A = this chain, B = another copy of it.
Amino acid sequence: MNGASRLRFASRMDAVAPSAVREILKAAEQPDILSLAGGLPAPELFPAAEIARAYADVLAHEPGGALQYGVTEGFGPLREWIAQRMTSQGIDTDASRVLITHGSQQGIDLMARVFLDAGDCVAVENPTYLAAIQAFNGFQAKVCAVESDDDGMLPDALEEALRTRRPKFLYVIPEFQNPKGTSFSLERRRRLLSLAAAHGVPVLEDNPYGELRFRGTSLPPLAALGSDATVVYLGTFSKTLAPGLRIGWMVAPPEIYRKLVISKQAADLHTATLAQRAAANLLERFDYEGHLKTLRAFYGERCETMLEGLKAPAFKAARWATPEGGLFLWIRLPPGLDDLALFQRALARKVAVVPGRSFFCEPGHHGFVRLNFSNVAPAKIQEALRRLGEAMAEGIREA
């Protein structure tokens, strides 16, 4: 190990570091903490018995194929199933354009590999999903935050970013965004696509939460809006079946698809064969639609509990948009309140939230916190909000 002091790491390692906020959140990982800080689906809804049956069936009837190496593109019948579901959602594709990945995080990473040189720019919503920024940083990209409101990116700001920063691609979560829980309006979707097309900039549409709408009307994904823009779509079973399977997918036009496959092959050869075959087996006989309905009702109820709790006087000066789906609710704190200070006050009361600053690309955003409702029982949501209200009231008094 003596040589370690002389190690010469890649320069990209200077651009990546464990997030400071993530380190802080580790302090909140105690069993006696009521945590609204997570981003996890509710484990009681994992279809564990159905998954067990699928694994047993696959291992009994096709053990050789299920345990052997597979092709990089993914298991054919699973790609077929996904292509059909995508088609039913208006995305014009066939299995030849579906690439199976180890979760949609890998899809973000592969897109970065295929498009990003050091110094290149990616345009993102502001705030946005933290681990996407980390993936882009890993390729030494500059992340260009486009001003966004509760209806998505502001078209003027996007146009300026496209013109002046020439991003290699746009990264957006149009439905129930992480961290805000809000969605692009239909008009903003169309505007984004026409601007992307006009500037010849592809769009990476990340849609992990789209199936979890419990209120309002579904809007078509960007990939279904039939524009001239190039859209690469990311889907996942992490929020609808279980994240521990690590199965996501990309839908991409042929020219990009070929490069994604080459990159995936270098990255890890292919997605786990057994997990893919079990998922395909499961989906063939499982009432997926019925399961999604259960999920939506369940998360809708938890969100409702949270919205009820937020009616308490302590939150009167705070603001939030009512989520129509997904896992998160985003709170704008009353003027003068600081997210980290509130985090500490809440933690002193054994409640954890995520300081909002961790989702912004640039410093200076200290007036938000993210709350999760998917993985907390209603009674705990109520109690956590009661304590959070106390913490907030204390903060307001002292501000």
Asked if A114 is an interface residue, CB under 8 A from chain B, the answer is: yes
The distance in angstroms between the C-alpha atoms of A168 and B63, with both chains bound, is: 41
Q: Which of A63-120 contact B (CB under 8 A)?
A: 63-70, 101-103, 105-106, 109, 113-118, 120
Asked if A40 is an interface residue, CB under 8 A from chain B, the answer is: yes
Minimal beta-carbon separation of A285 from chain B (angstroms) = 17
Minimal beta-carbon separation of A213 from chain B (angstroms) = 22
Asked if A287 is an interface residue, CB under 8 A from chain B, the answer is: no
Minimal beta-carbon separation of A86 from chain B (angstroms) = 16
Q: Which residue of B lies closest to A243 (CB)?
A: B69
A129-155 vs B, CB cutoff 8 Å, 1 = contact: the mask equals 001001101110000000000000000
Choice from B40, B48, B67, B230 contacting A3 with Cβ under 8 Å: B230
Across-interface contacts of A266 in B (CB, < 8 A): 16, 105, 109, 131, 134-135, 137-138
Choice from B7, B200, B245, B274 contacting A244 with Cβ under 8 Å: B274
Q: Is the CB of A105 within 8 A of B202?
A: no
Across-interface contacts of A116 in B (CB, < 8 A): 10
8 tightest A-B contacts by CB?
A48-B63, A244-B273, A43-B64, A67-B242, A6-B200, A52-B59, A246-B272, A67-B244
Select the residue from A11, A41, A44, A69 with max chain B CB neighbours within 10 A: A69
Minimal beta-carbon separation of A287 from chain B (angstroms) = 18
Minimal beta-carbon separation of A43 from chain B (angstroms) = 4
Q: Is the CB of B114 within 8 A of A10?
A: yes
Choice from B1, B55, B67, B139 contacting A253 with Cβ under 8 Å: B1
The segment from A156-164, A254-262, A289-297, A341-349 found at the interface with B is A254-262
Across-interface contacts of A12 in B (CB, < 8 A): 113, 117
The distance in angstroms between the C-alpha atoms of A23 and B112, with both chains bound, is: 26
Asked if A17 is an interface residue, CB under 8 A from chain B, the answer is: yes
The distance in angstroms between the C-alpha atoms of A360 and B274, with both chains bound, is: 32
Q: Quick one: copies of this chain in the complex?
A: 2
Across-interface contacts of A30 in B (CB, < 8 A): none
Q: A8-B168, A11-B117, A103-B268 are in contact. List 9 more A-B contacts (CB 8 A).
A: A10-B117, A10-B120, A16-B262, A102-B102, A105-B267, A109-B266, A243-B273, A244-B272, A274-B275
Q: Is the CB of A197 within 8 A of B117?
A: no
Across-interface contacts of A197 in B (CB, < 8 A): 2-3
Asked if A13 is an interface residue, CB under 8 A from chain B, the answer is: yes
Q: Is the CB of B200 within 8 A of A3?
A: yes
Asked if A372 is an interface residue, CB under 8 A from chain B, the answer is: no
The majority secondary structure among interface residues of chain A is helix
Q: Is the CB of B68 within 8 A of A272?
A: no
Which residues of A line the B interface, CB within 8 A?
1-4, 6-13, 16-18, 40-41, 43-44, 46, 48-49, 51-52, 55-56, 59-60, 63-70, 101-103, 105-106, 109, 113-118, 120, 131, 134-135, 137-139, 168, 196-197, 200-202, 228-230, 238, 242-246, 253, 255-256, 259, 262-263, 265-275
The distance in angstroms between the C-alpha atoms of A68 and B303, with both chains bound, is: 21
Minimal beta-carbon separation of A153 from chain B (angstroms) = 18
The distance in angstroms between the C-alpha atoms of A6 and B268, with both chains bound, is: 29
Given contacts A52-B55, A52-B56, A263-B138, contact A271 B246 (CB under 8 A): yes
Q: Is the CB of A59 within 8 A of B55?
A: yes
Choice from B8, B70, B265 contacting A131 with Cβ under 8 Å: B265
Minimal beta-carbon separation of A89 from chain B (angstroms) = 18
Across-interface contacts of A2 in B (CB, < 8 A): 197, 228
Across-interface contacts of A66 in B (CB, < 8 A): 48, 244
Q: Is the CB of A63 within 8 A of B46?
A: yes
Q: Which residue of B lies closest to A120 (CB)?
A: B10
- A-B contacts, 7 of them at CB < 8 A, read A4-B230, A12-B117, A16-B263, A106-B267, A134-B265, A138-B263, A244-B272
